[in-house]
């Protein structure tokens, strides 16, 4: 099956600093990637949809200036949490749509990045 | 407004038993219904998915049943094993291309030895 990686797997940072999370599709090209955040024992909440070569589309309530998304290539999307605060501590998960997936809607998820802001 | 409602919130079954998780959706435009399995600290993994043109799909011990008129779909796990203990999320999306997934709130499954 399609493989999506994330780096780093976990990060601890001080309040006010910025953190960059990378999401890579390893064995396929993904024109569309998605970023989610998940709080403990809760479901995945879509933050934004990232399309290669264009600006990301953010969900309502997600600050685009705080969560910067770049999708510079067909295999890499990055999420930068700027001026992180403790309330940004969460599990961030990316997914990539595989064009060869079932009906074109198959999303493959990365392993997630645990962000802790002190 | 929650577009995909999932139940139960948690479930305990004995090893070898059958576990059933249910989801109900509201948007009749949804036409793709996957189930994901997530272990603690890991990303979700696609288990099985179905489209509305079939009422049932089976892959190994996993079966999706789909009821279009009732706008419901369910995941059955046969011969449940302790390694199946995880959180299961149903989801739905509409159309192909750039559609996004709407997730249910998840069912935490515990399979007792």
Indicate if the pLDDT at residue B96 is higher than 60: no
Q: Mind giving me the DSSP string for A53-80? A: TSPPEEPTT--TTTEEEEEEETTEEEEE
pLDDT digits (tens, 9 = 90+) for B37-81: 999 999 999 999 998 889 999 999 999 999 999 999 999 999 999
Q: A114 — contact with chain B (CB < 8 Å)?
A: yes
Which of the listed ranges A21-35, A61-75, B76-90 does the model predict with the highest average pLDDT?
B76-90
In the predicted model, what is the mean pLDDT of residues A35-63?
Answer: 92
pLDDT > 70? residue A107: yes
CB proximity list for A65: less than 8 A, separation 6 or greater: A82
- Give the three-class secondary structure for B83: helix
pLDDT digit string (tens) for B20-29? 999 999 998 8
Q: Compute the nearest-CA separation of A78 from chain B (Å).
A: 17
Residue B103 sits at φ, ψ, to 5 deg, of -100, 150
Backbone angles phi, psi at A53, to 5 degrees: 80, 5
Return the residue in A6, A23, A44 with the most chain B beta carbons within 10 A, the one to mutate for interface testing. A44
For residue A44, which residues of chain B lie inside 8 Å, CB to CB? 44, 89, 103
The number of residues making up chain A comes to 118
Question: What average pLDDT does the segment A23-37 reach?
Answer: 91
B21 phi/psi in degrees, rounded to 5: -120, 140
> What residues of chain B, 9 to 68, have a C-beta less than 8 Å from chain A?
32, 34, 36, 41-46, 49, 51
pLDDT for position B97: 47
């Amino acid at each position: 099956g399609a493989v999506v990686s994330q780096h780093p797997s976990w990060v601890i940072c001080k309040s006010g600093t910025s953190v960059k999370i990378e999401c890579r599709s390893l064995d396929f090209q993904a024109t569309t990637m998605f970023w989610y955040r998940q709080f403990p024992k809760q479901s995945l909440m879509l933050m934004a949809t990232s399309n290669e070569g264009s600006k990301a589309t953010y969900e309502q309530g997600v600050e685009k200036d705080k969560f910067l998304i770049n999708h510079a290539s067909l295999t890499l999307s990055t999420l930068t949490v700027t001026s992180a605060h403790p309330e940004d501590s969460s599990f961030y998960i990316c997914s990539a749509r595989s064009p060869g997936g079932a009906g074109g809607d198959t999303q493959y998820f990365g392993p997630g990045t645990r962000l802790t802001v002190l | 407004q929650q577009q995909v409602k999932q139940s139960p919130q948690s479930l305990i079954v004995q090893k070898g038993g059958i576990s059933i998780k249910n989801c109900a959706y509201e948007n009749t435009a949804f036409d793709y219904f996957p189930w994901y399995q997530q272990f603690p600290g890991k990303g979700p993994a696609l288990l099985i998915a179905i489209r509305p043109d079939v009422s049932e799909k089976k892959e190994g011990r996993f079966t999706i049943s789909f009821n279009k008129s009732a706008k419901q779909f369910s995941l059955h796990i046969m011969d449940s094993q302790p390694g199946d203990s995880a959180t299961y999320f149903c989801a739905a999306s509409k159309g192909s291309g750039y559609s996004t997934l709407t997730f249910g709130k998840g069912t935490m499954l515990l399979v007792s030895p």
